[in-house]
Amino acid sequence: MKFSIRNGVPLQGVLTYDESEYGFSFSASSDEPLSERLGSEGVASVLIGTLQLEVGIESREVLFAWGYFPNVRGVTAELGAPDFIAGRVFISSDHAFEPGVSFEVPGDGLRVSYDPSSGWVALRLKDALDAKFVQIASGVVLGIDTGYLVSVWLHPVSPDEARSDRRYLR
């Protein structure tokens, strides 16, 4: 499974983390850009532990992150946002993608860090010396190194914050 970065506009919306449900959720700002990226064949997911990266089957584009993730605050660390570009990430693989089916991304062992002052959550799958970081959706940044997914950086807001802030309302 190889990941490639392309120019493009990240999917706009809001990434939330609900502490009562221990889960991330993504809501697109508009259905039209999401529908265009989904295509007609549905979605599959790439699993990182219990976190899922939604992938359009037809396009093979990684769309956003979501899912149950109880250890979001496992290790507290000082995290600055990675230096990222806006873009899109696609997967090439011999693996057949099927609607609703998930497959696990290989890694050396998941390391999770959380910075309470900045709100960033970092999930590191592999050590990388020269990763490129790309924001694929609001609050979702992927680290790619020589075609491999090496990290996922998430910057969620709380559901209450999303409801009270007009920027997050449809």
The pairing of strands 132-137 and 88-92 is unpaired
Closest by CA to 82, choosing from 34, 38, 118, is 118
Whether pTM > 0.85 for this model: the answer is: yes
pLDDT of residue 130: 86
Beta bridge partners of 25: 16
Question: Looking at the predicted structure, is the pLDDT value of residue 108 above 70?
Answer: no
- The conformational region for residue 37 under phi > 0 = left, psi -120 to 50 = alpha, else beta, is alpha
Spatial distance between the Cα atoms of 141 and 149, rounded to a whole number of angstroms: 11
Spatial distance between the Cα atoms of 107 and 126, rounded to a whole number of angstroms: 6
Question: Looking at the predicted structure, is the pLDDT value of residue 147 above 90?
Answer: yes
Q: Around Cβ 128, how many Cβ atoms within 10 Å?
A: 16
pLDDT of residue 165: 59
pLDDT of residue 103: 87
Q: Which residues are CB-contacts of 67 (< 8 A; sequence separation ≥ 6)?
A: 23, 24, 45, 50, 51, 52
Question: Looking at the predicted structure, is the pLDDT value of residue 52 above 80?
Answer: yes
Please give the biggest Cα pair distance in the chain: 44
Mean pLDDT of 107-124: 86
pLDDT of residue 22: 92
Question: Looking at the predicted structure, is the pLDDT value of residue 118 above 60?
Answer: yes
Question: Looking at the predicted structure, is the pLDDT value of residue 158 above 80?
Answer: no
14 against 168, higher pLDDT: 14
Mean pLDDT of 83-93: 95
Alpha-carbon distance values, 46 to 19, 68, 95, 97, 104 (Å): 23, 13, 11, 10, 6
Question: Looking at the predicted structure, is the pLDDT value of residue 62 above 90?
Answer: yes
Question: Looking at the predicted structure, is the pLDDT value of residue 168 above 70?
Answer: no
Mean pLDDT of 48-58: 92
Mean pLDDT of 40-56: 91
